[in-house]
Structure 1
Amino acid sequence: MNEEPKLLKEPREGVPEVIDTLEAYKDYCSLLAAGSGPLAADAERASGFRYGHEDWLIQFKRKGAGIGLLDPIELTKLGADWNEFNKAVGDAPWIIHDSMQDLPGFFDIGLRPRALFDTEIAAKLLGRKRFGLSSVTEYYLGLTLAKEHSAADWSYRPLPRDWRNYAALDVELLIELEEVMRAELKKQGKLLWAEEEFAHLLIAGEKKKAKHPRPWLRISHISVLMHDKIGLMIAKELWQKRDELARRYDIAPTLLLSDAAIIEASKRKPNNSRSFRSIRILNERVRIHTGCEQDKMFERYAPIQRKIKPNVWKLVIEEAISKAKSGIDAMSIDSDSNSSSSSSNTNNFDNSGCSGNKSSTDDADSDCFKNNNEDKFIEKSEEDMNNFESSYLQETQGAPKSMKYWREHHPKRFALLKKVKAVVMSISEDTHTPTDILIKPQIIRSLCWTDNPKNIDVHSFLIEQGARDWQADLISESVTRAII
């Protein structure tokens, strides 16, 4: 677009109220059933505030039905029949931006989309460098969307008008956007690729995520404790206690104890009251200062925070030190770590923004997206994390992520990996498609990690590893030549 983009301030038909009664819900289902075309969909959570990742607001739009803002928590309590919604929508494609953020929540509620169009994936396939929703609508429609409330506590009730306006805008343009992007995908010869991706995402969105065997290893900067057995035990025990309390009180774990506090305690190892009191971060209530509206939202959780006294952490640290000195290895997978929920805020790498509500942050220019990153791992070095896990898992869990491990321990495999990655990069440039859309990096690593890659049918291997047909068809021949 050459013209200056326009900021869309409100939906064209106004800002709707929240649907939180059975009567209003049934009325909207009737409107959806009478409507036509695809269904625009989105969801809002309270991940940076609450323990879980359930949807607190779900938004929809369909031609003839208008925008509906539904309170799924309240409606479920009232006994809403979500199959009524499913029947009303029927086989209509659901248009979602970054569907893997929202599909799991939709399925948990009882919603059953039968077809999908993901505008973020479409943008990536079309070679867009910035693929947040506002960037995509700006490029294809000449309209931008305000992002002021993307990191709000969506569990708060009643929802202010400004918040409802923001939520409604998230679905306002999706139907028009899908029409334009579908035409562009067809023009570039990528529509079949996109349809395969969307079908794959729809299946993946319904599957439950596997729990990480050691979720506490995702503490920010845990790699500084790589060779510290006592420190690792302290970190593990503090993480588990924090997770237990956060689940009990339904609060984000990092609002009870920050990752920075866990690392500080693990490095300093306080073994008496005096040394514990000297670590200020362990003795103060967690306060989040973003300079945005979130500050007041975080303060609503202060009463819960005050219930957890510093002595709780002191006792955990003492027990951890005792365990480590008795020879117990922190890296052992025990019942406690297996029982910890993998949905905890500190375990989820998909979150971004202040509260982890959205994953597409390339539109987020406000400071609130840059400050509250304790539980978003923005500061964490992924390479350090991979090195750390690789040092323990090494070859038992398949191809490691750490390039350092490849380079130092398997130089021949590393050389092959670089060669194959160069081939994929070349195809990426030729097709104007990101490499991670062409093929998952893990699949390429797995291929190059095999003992005899020259004897492998590359196309079959890629499919077995989860690649889509279009991906295997596109890259297998070139990759085979590189291996031989």
Structure 2
Amino acid sequence: MEDSARRQDMTGRQEERPGQGESDAEPARLLAEPRGGVPPVIDDAQGFARACRELSQERGPLAADAERASGFRYGHDDYLVQFKRGSSDIFLLDPQALNRAGCDWDDFNRAVDGAQWIIHDSPQDLPGFHDLGMKPSSLFDTELTARMLNLRHFGLSAVTEHFLGLSLAKEHSAADWSHRPLPRDWRNYAALDVELLVPLRERMLLELERQGKEEWARQEFVWLLDKRSQRKPRPEQPWRHLSQISTLRKDRRGLAVARALWTKREELGREYDIAPSLLLTDRSIIAAAQAKPRNAAQFRAIRSLNERVRIHAGGEQDRMFERYAPIQRKVRPTVWRETILEALDLPADELPVGPKPQADQSNAPKSMQVWRQRHPERMARLEAARKTVARIGQETNTPVDVLIKPKYLRNLCWTDEPGKRDVADFLEEQGARPWQVSLLSESLSRAIM
């Protein structure tokens, strides 16, 4: 099929102006399967070599995606990576099996060298690609582009519907992608994630050009590829990120229980390769830290410590979680009881203390209550700055959180001497891209004076 005819058939609405309003668009057609059918999973060296060979023979950008097993397995490893380039087949690669088979991801890098990678929501997938040894040459993020173009909805199916008139069959986003063999409908879901990325990029490029945002997007993609490929460093005290940990406040003994249970849960999750939350929920940890059970009766009163975690999501997902019941049963309730008792017996000088104050006082607090009650002048400055950004957002048809990260704006206003601050230099130091500095610095300088 000729390229123009194929593009018209893929989009279904070639005559529509890219980026037009969703209210006057034709009803979307459902794309139930990829054009070439549902591909198999490649898990051996021979299949990997064939995929590299065929991708190397194509030209143009590379559609890419990845699936993990978050909520089921320990860590954030990729269990499936999907690629399509030009007129090639869609390739579903099992990276864990391919690593065991001794496949070299540098072979893949050479096969697609120079190709721009098209990814929807790249911060989710770039760290996993990096961990495997993949090295994208350049990036086009369709999710960020949708936000930059001020679409109301920016999930992949909503974006393909807006630009291409096609919605995607999406039912397995929270599946356990470590399960093998992968059912046909799961493979179909994974393949659809890359089926339309190339024509979607073409339409989005046209709309970026129409709105004068091509250079903005280019700078954002360079920044994402540089900053988001590697995983964020782990916090110094990760257990303090437990849900509802603030309820313990200054209860140092309760904090010790929470810390001990989190640490034991993490250790067991790593040992059994299971999501720690399937061994003990955050809610159970906080309940134990508040109750501080010392005897068997008090421990039994906290039911969640004595029963294995059950997830009630409905239907197929419940069955997926039930596959992990044998591992859950290996961890007996006595493990949690012993861990709690050890924390309760710690000497006072080993109990947790409050987090260390930030050395960098330029990091502004998130709580607006602190601003209003303790720093009304700074609050007035922040409100003026926000109004300025909102106005520029309206003028450029761009969401304010794309124009500038809220943290940068708070930090900018967190000073008693705004007249001595060079706004352009400050935004650059914070991490703002050149297009943001150029667009905002002069107006913000006037607003905070």
TM over 0.5: yes
Matched, 1:429 2:394: yes
Matched, 1:466 2:406: no
Q: 1:189 aligns with which of 212, 217, 223?
A: 212
Which blocks of at least 5 consecutive residues in structure 2 are unaligned?
Answer: 1-21
Alignment match, 1:330? 352
Q: Which amino acid aligns with 1:421?
A: R
Distance of 2:379 and 2:263 partners within structure 1: 36
Q: Which amino acid aligns with 2:164?
A: L
- TM superposition shift of 1:233: 1.8
Alignment match, 1:398? 363
Alignment match, 1:249? 272
| Paired residues for 1:40-439 under 5 Å | 40-323=63-346, 326-331=348-353, 398-439=363-404
Query: 2:362·2:411 contact (CA, 8 Å) conserved in 1?
Result: no
Matched, 1:19 2:42: yes
Distance of 2:307 and 2:403 partners within structure 1: 47
CA change 1:459–1:427 in 2 (3 A) is same
Query: 2:130·2:230 contact (CA, 8 Å) conserved in 1?
Result: no
Distance of 2:85 and 2:279 partners within structure 1: 41
SS in structure 1 at match of 2:134 = coil
Alignment match, 1:356? none
Q: Which amino acid aligns with 2:307?
A: E
Q: 1:29 aligns with which of 37, 46, 52?
A: 52
Q: Which amino acid aligns with 1:450?
A: T
SS in structure 2 at match of 1:56 = strand
- TM superposition shift of 1:135: 0.6
SS in structure 2 at match of 1:69 = strand
Distance of 2:132 and 2:387 partners within structure 1: 43
The structure whose Rg is larger is 2
Query: 1:56·1:71 contact (CA, 8 Å) conserved in 2?
Result: yes
- TM superposition shift of 1:394: 9.3
- TM superposition shift of 1:396: 5.1
Higher relative contact order (CA 8 A, sep 6+): 1
Distance of 1:14 and 1:285 partners within structure 2: 41
Distance of 2:400 and 2:351 partners within structure 1: 39
- TM superposition shift of 1:321: 2.1
- For residues 213-267 of structure 1, give each alpha carbon's deviation from its aligned partner in whole angstroms, at most 9, with x where no partner exists: 2211221122222232222221121111111111111110110001111111112
SS in structure 1 at match of 2:71 = coil
SS in structure 2 at match of 1:290 = coil
Number of aligned pairs? 426
SS in structure 2 at match of 1:74 = helix
SS in structure 2 at match of 1:304 = helix
Q: Which amino acid aligns with 1:267?
A: Q
Distance of 2:272 and 2:198 partners within structure 1: 39
Alignment match, 1:479? 444
SS in structure 2 at match of 1:117 = strand
Deviates more, 1:415-424 or 1:188-197: 415-424
Q: Which amino acid aligns with 2:445?
A: T
Q: Which amino acid aligns with 2:348?
A: S
Query: 2:121·2:143 contact (CA, 8 Å) conserved in 1?
Result: yes
- TM superposition shift of 1:448: 1.3
Q: 1:441 aligns with which of 406, 409, 423?
A: 406
SS in structure 2 at match of 1:206 = coil
- TM superposition shift of 1:332: 6.2
Deviates more, 1:393-402 or 1:208-217: 393-402
- For residues 343-386 of structure 1, give each alpha carbon's deviation from its aligned partner in whole angstroms, at most 9, with x where no partner exists: xxxxxxxxxxxxxxxxxxxxxxxxxxxxxxxxxxxxxxxxxxxx
- TM superposition shift of 1:150: 0.9
Distance of 2:264 and 2:416 partners within structure 1: 42
Query: 2:82·2:191 contact (CA, 8 Å) conserved in 1?
Result: yes
TM-align CA RMSD: 1.6
- TM superposition shift of 1:327: 4.1
Distance of 1:321 and 1:3 partners within structure 2: 64
- TM superposition shift of 1:412: 2.2
- TM superposition shift of 1:310: 0.8
SS in structure 2 at match of 1:94 = strand
SS in structure 1 at match of 2:78 = coil
- TM superposition shift of 1:60: 0.4
Distance of 2:391 and 2:222 partners within structure 1: 26
SS in structure 2 at match of 1:263 = helix
Query: 1:36·1:64 contact (CA, 8 Å) conserved in 2?
Result: no
- For residues 195-222 of structure 1, give each alpha carbon's deviation from its aligned partner in whole angstroms, at most 9, with x where no partner exists: 0000100001223412112211221122
SS in structure 1 at match of 2:350 = coil
Relative to the length of structure 2, the TM-score reads 0.92
Query: 1:428·1:434 contact (CA, 8 Å) conserved in 2?
Result: yes
Q: Which amino acid aligns with 1:310?
A: P
Q: Which amino acid aligns with 2:424?
A: H
- For residues 404-460 of structure 1, give each alpha carbon's deviation from its aligned partner in whole angstroms, at most 9, with x where no partner exists: 222233232222122212211221122121111111111111111234221111111
Query: 1:93·1:113 contact (CA, 8 Å) conserved in 2?
Result: yes
Q: Following superposition, which runs of at least 4 residues in structure 1 exceed 3 angstroms of deviation?
A: 392-397
Query: 1:8·1:146 contact (CA, 8 Å) conserved in 2?
Result: yes
- TM superposition shift of 1:328: 3.3
CA change 1:331–1:59 in 2 (3 A) is farther
Alignment match, 1:357? none
Distance of 1:126 and 1:133 partners within structure 2: 14
Alignment match, 1:378? none
Distance of 1:482 and 1:396 partners within structure 2: 22
Distance of 1:419 and 1:327 partners within structure 2: 47
Distance of 1:409 and 1:196 partners within structure 2: 38
Which blocks of at least 5 consecutive residues in structure 1 are unaligned?
Answer: 334-388
